């Protein structure tokens, strides 16, 4: 799951980023609203955590511009304000949730997972395709009931594919989501990691789950 953290208080930004990364999320961070909007418009994130009061552009302005451009990335606001009007304003702008500082890290994790379940239409913390199951809360992956070992990047890639199962994803979209907005290594890395996943998931099996759509990208689906 790929997140963007936009918080101008560097120490808090660093703590949130490190703790979310430790919990297994793929995290990008920035310190002002203009940078946040640029990233959200040109890269794919599962969710953004935005401070409301930021330099250059407020969190509410970021969401207003984001929605105007048709991007529906779920957003959780961070703020020091705690009035009904503030919360209503944020939610009416298109935010999914609202957390008041100071907050506990456990609460932030719970809110993120709740928003993501709502966004995906899921009421569980697992995604299944054929005999492959991905547990997004524990990062455990099971194939035919047996756990398989994935590296961090392999897990990030598989999670993105599984959440979008049945949808064709371009290399550019995968690169942006899994490797990030600032990655400069080129899209060959996508092919390399697709091969890693195929060896661990599809090797020696009649029922293939990872498929190449020539000239377009990749899709995960059950197909013999």
Report the phi/psi class of residue 92: left, alpha or beta, with left for phi > 0 and alpha for psi in -120 to 50.
alpha
Work out the pLDDT band at 224, boundaries 50, 70, 90: low
How confident is the model over 9-25, as pLDDT tens digits? Answer: 999 999 999 999 888 78
How confident is the model over 111-152, as pLDDT tens digits? Answer: 888 888 777 665 457 788 999 999 877 889 999 999 999 998
Question: What is the C-alpha to C-alpha distance for residues 72 and 1, in angstroms, rounded to an integer?
Answer: 16
Q: Which domains does the chain have, with CATH numbers?
A: 2-120 (3.40.50.2300), 126-223 (1.10.10.10)
């Amino acid at each position: 799951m790929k997140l963007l953290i936009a918080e101008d208080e560097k120490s808090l930004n660093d703590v949130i980023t490190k703790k979310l990364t430790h919990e297994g999320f793929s995290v990008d961070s920035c310190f002002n609203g203009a940078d946040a909007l640029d990233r959200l418009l040109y890269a794919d994130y599962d969710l953004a955590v935005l401070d409301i009061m930021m330099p250059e552009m407020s969190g509410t302005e970021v969401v207003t511009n984001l929605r105007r451009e048709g991007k529906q990335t779920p957003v959780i606001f961070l703020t020091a304000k705690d009035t009904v009007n503030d919360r209503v304003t944020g939610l009416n702008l298109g935010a999914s949730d609202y957390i008041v500082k100071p907050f506990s890290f456990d609460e932030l994790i719970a809110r993120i997972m709740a928003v993501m379940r709502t966004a995906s239409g899921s009421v569980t913390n697992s995604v299944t395709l054929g005999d492959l199951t991905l547990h997004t809360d524990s990062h455990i992956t099971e194939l035919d009931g047996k756990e398989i070992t994935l590296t961090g990047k392999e897990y990030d890639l598989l999670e993105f594919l599984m959440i979008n199962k049945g949808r064709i994803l371009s290399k550019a979209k995968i690169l942006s989501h899994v490797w990030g907005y600032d990655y400069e290594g080129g899209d060959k890395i996508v092919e390399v990691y697709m091969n890693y996943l195929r060896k661990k998931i599809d090797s020696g099996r009649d029922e293939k789950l990872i498929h190449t759509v020539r000239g377009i990208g990749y899709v995960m689906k059950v197909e013999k």
